């Protein structure tokens, strides 16, 4: 809570004092996952986990400050470096391991490069407020894993209850990116083509 909830408010107050724009990344986990369709920016929040609650607190602190801000909610971020779902699944597939992956949680896989490039594009458009910044389309973790391994190893679908997790995760955390797309004047790339780009650069 200190890092995710309170620190953004401190930075927001400083941004206001300097007349600066604060760009802040938030998460799909501010929603409870009970909605049937994709979540828009104005839909009711209701985080299930401490992580989601702390990120929502950070958003609210920024808005209360009155500073110029751009809050970008995103989801399932991965890339060719660091520690992330993509690299874990790719490594297991390379080792010939069969996989069991959750198939009842839906979201939008988002590459770190996409996030960086589209943030810069939105800044060039002088975007402010709260936006959902994810590629087009959606997937389950199981579907994402199958796209990563491309048939090299067996991937079996499982229910969330079969996978031990320290935090509750929303069943549906698909974010609607139409508002960001409208500001940019174009559709955002689909997550599958972005996965291909990461695979080629790895």
pLDDT for position 66: 95
Q: Is 29 labeled as catalytic in the residue annotation? A: no
Residues 136-147: what's their mean pLDDT?
A: 97
Residues 130-151: what's their mean pLDDT?
A: 97
DSSP H helices in 41-105: 50-65, 85-94
Residues 47-70: what's their mean pLDDT?
A: 97
Residue 202 has pLDDT above 90, yes or no: no
Question: For residue 169, what pLDDT band results from cuts at 50, 70 and 90?
Answer: confident
* Unique residue bearing structure tokens 């299930």: 48
Element at 62 (helix H, strand E): helix 50-65
Q: Is the pTM of this model over 0.85?
A: yes
List the catalytic residue out of 51, 78, 86, 142: 51
How far, in whole angstroms, is CA 105 from its chain's centroid?
Answer: 13
pLDDT for position 161: 76
């Amino acid at each position: 809570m200190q890092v995710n909830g309170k620190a953004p408010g401190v930075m927001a107050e400083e941004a206001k004092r300097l007349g600066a724009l604060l760009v802040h990344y938030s998460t799909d986990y501010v929603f409870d996952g009970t909605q049937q369709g994709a979540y828009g920016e104005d839909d009711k929040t209701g985080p299930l986990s401490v992580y989601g609650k702390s990120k929502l607190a950070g958003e609210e602190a920024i808005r209360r400050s009155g500073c110029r801000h751009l809050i970008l909610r995103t989801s399932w971020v991965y890339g060719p470096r660091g520690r992330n779902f993509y690299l874990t699944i790719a490594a297991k597939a390379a080792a010939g391991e069969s996989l069991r992956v959750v198939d009842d949680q839906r979201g939008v896989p988002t590459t770190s490069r996409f996030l960086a490039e589209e943030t810069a594009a939105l800044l060039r458009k002088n975007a402010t407020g709260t936006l959902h910044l994810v590629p087009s389309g959606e997937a389950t973790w199981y579907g994402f894993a199958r796209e990563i391994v491309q048939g090299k190893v067996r991937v079996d679908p499982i229910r969330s209850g079969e996978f031990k997790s320290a935090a509750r995760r929303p069943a549906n955390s698909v974010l609607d990116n139409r508002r960001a797309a409208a500001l940019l004047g174009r559709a955002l790339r689909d997550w599958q083509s972005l996965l291909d780009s990461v695979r080629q650069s790895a």
